[in-house]
Chain A
Amino acid sequence: DQQVKQNSPSLSVQEGRISILNCDYTNSMFDYFLWYKKYPAEGPTFLISISSIKDKNEDGRFTVFLNKSAKHLSLHIVPSQPGDSAVYFCAASSDNNNDMRFGAGTRLTVKP
Chain B
Amino acid sequence: DTAVSQTPKYLVTQMGNDKSIKCEQNLGHDTMYWYKQDSKKFLKIMFSYNNKELIINETVPNRFSPKSPDKAHLNLHINSLELGDSAVYFCASSLPGTGRDSPLHFGNGTRLTVT
Contacts and interface: CB of A to CB of B under 8 A. Distances in A.
Interface string A42-65: 111110010100000000000000
Nearest to A89: B43
Interface in A65-112: 87, 89, 93-100, 102-105
A57 B92 CA distance: 25
Contact of B103 (A41, A49, A99): A49
Interface stretch (B64-72, B78-86, B106-114): B106-114
A96 B96 contact: yes
Given A2-B42, A43-B4, A89-B43, A97 B98 contact: yes
B66 to A, nearest CB: 14
Interface in A1-54: 2, 32, 34, 36, 41-46, 49, 51
B11 to A, nearest CB: 15
Contact of B94 (A32, A51, A97): A97
Contacts of A93: 98-99
Nearest to B97: A96
Contacts of A36: 103-104, 106
Contacts of A96: 96-98
Interface of A: 2, 32, 34, 36, 41-46, 49, 51, 87, 89, 93-100, 102-105
20 contacts: A2-B42, A32-B98, A34-B99, A34-B103, A36-B106, A41-B108, A43-B90, A43-B92, A43-B108, A43-B109, A44-B104, A45-B106, A46-B103, A49-B103, A51-B99, A95-B98, A97-B104, A98-B55, A104-B40, A104-B42
Interface of B: 4, 31, 33, 40-45, 48, 55-56, 90, 92, 94, 96-100, 102-109
Given A96-B98, A97-B94, A100-B98, 7 more contacts: A51-B100, A93-B99, A96-B96, A98-B45, A99-B56, A102-B43, A104-B42
